[in-house]
A and B are shown apart, each in its own frame.
Chain A
Amino acid sequence: MRDGIATARNGIPAIALVTEAFWPQGDFVAHSLGMPSFPRVQLPHPVAGSGLVNMRAIAEQMTPKIIEAFAA
């Protein structure tokens, strides 16, 4: 979230990818950095370490949502 907001503040379109377990923390950071409605997409948890097949499936499932978030 923090990286996404910093990127956006540099004029580069950005969204944050936040896993389900850390979604409340993402809300908190977005509020505390003054961008409560910063666009974000929720990923399942965990992603890291869950295996190549699963991570590829998550990527394929989430890519349209990421593109949609950028287009919004």
Chain B
Amino acid sequence: MTDFLSAPDEAAALEQLHACHCTDGLPVVIPTDERVQRMILQSNLAGDLQLGVMGPAGNAATVEKIAVSAVMAGCLPDYMPIVIAAVQAILRPEFDLTEMQATTHCTAPLLIVNGPARVECGPVSSGFGALGPGHRANASIGRALRLAMINIGGGRPGTSDMALLGHPGKFTYCLAEDEQSSPFEPLHVSRGFAEQDSVVTVVGAEAPHSVMFSGNADLPDNASRLLDVLAIGLTNAATNNAVLGGGAATVVLNPEHALILAGAGLTREQICAELYQRCYFQMPADNPFRPIKSGKKSSGRSKRYCFNSPEQILLLMAGGSGLYSMVMPSWCAGGHKNSAVSIGFDANPYCEIPAFPASS
């Protein structure tokens, strides 16, 4: 089932993996058989179980190969259920992975973790700097998905991954929603799951764009002003969401901004609906870059909306408290417009892990 590489020691093995372009350019944990088998155990799945075929290379995404990526990325076995679910998500046809891997656009799968797995398969951080360095689960889970996309999917820069510049989220791009502090129902509930379900949502995303807003509670239109600036960031005239339209986008509200909107009596659905209404261009195009095929037209055909529906806007709360929320426009191409996918999974596969020597 498995072909093994051999090396005299771990340092030589690392050089070998770099030389055969099996890394992301950073050092990896050497995927020894023992480490990989332990990772497979935590998935409670058979190592040769095939989850699908990953493009553009068209290789079989088996649990064993995914476990190899998880080991290389530095995952703890506890993280494995999230990694498996994330791979299942990007393999769904509506995610358009093969095309996404090959695009010249700067897009990467953003992983959003909801439900008990945030704690039981992590902890996956959702507070200060959740998308930055210093959070082991966030860093290694997202990295495992990327290494799978490299080594199973075959996405390598300049030959099969044609991103003109890429973005740092292509190393890792994973966070949890701050469900405890959020005034809104969790993202996964809005996508049809129960609150106690563990869910990973994967969406193609550009690097985070900062949206600064210094609220003033004395202004009656405080919330409306915040929605206005979020919409400007989400579909500014240079984004694919404005030019191509019809794709998803992500809004990460910081706690203060979430409270401003909740304080105005807005629910998650109403916020998305308000943003949808604000993200449009007048026809004939008032966008100097001339949106070529943006989303849905208004009934009088005087407007071209950037989204097909409010549901294409993924809204969550995360990050520290302050002036800055984040928006992530998306690629908006592929046969299914690189749709967001949510996968529910068992955070506790109930598989006992044998004692693992500290020296391994």
Enumerate chain A interface residues (CB-CB to B < 8 A): 21, 45-46, 48-52, 54
Contact = CB atoms under 8 A, between A and B. Distances in A.
Interface residues of B, number: 9
A21 B216 contact: no
Interface in B307-336: 320-322
A49 B321 contact: no
Interface of B: 214-218, 256, 320-322
Nearest to A24: B128
A65 to B, nearest CB: 21
A49 B215 CA distance: 5
Contacts of A49: 214-217, 256
18 contacts: A21-B320, A21-B321, A21-B322, A45-B321, A46-B256, A46-B321, A48-B214, A49-B214, A49-B215, A49-B216, A49-B217, A49-B256, A50-B217, A51-B216, A51-B217, A51-B218, A52-B218, A54-B217
A49 B321 CA distance: 13
Given A49-B215, A51-B216, 13 more contacts: A21-B320, A21-B321, A21-B322, A45-B321, A46-B256, A48-B214, A49-B214, A49-B216, A49-B217, A49-B256, A50-B217, A52-B218, A54-B217
Contacts of A50: 217
Contacts of A54: 217
A6 to B, nearest CB: 23
Contacts of A48: 214
A45 B321 CA distance: 8
Interface centre among A46, A48, A50, A51 (most CB of B within 10 A): A46
Interface pairs A-B: 7 shortest CB-CB: A51-B217, A49-B215, A21-B321, A51-B218, A49-B216, A50-B217, A46-B256
A48 B214 CA distance: 8
A29 B214 CA distance: 25
Contacts of B320: 21
A26 to B, nearest CB: 14
A59 B218 CA distance: 17
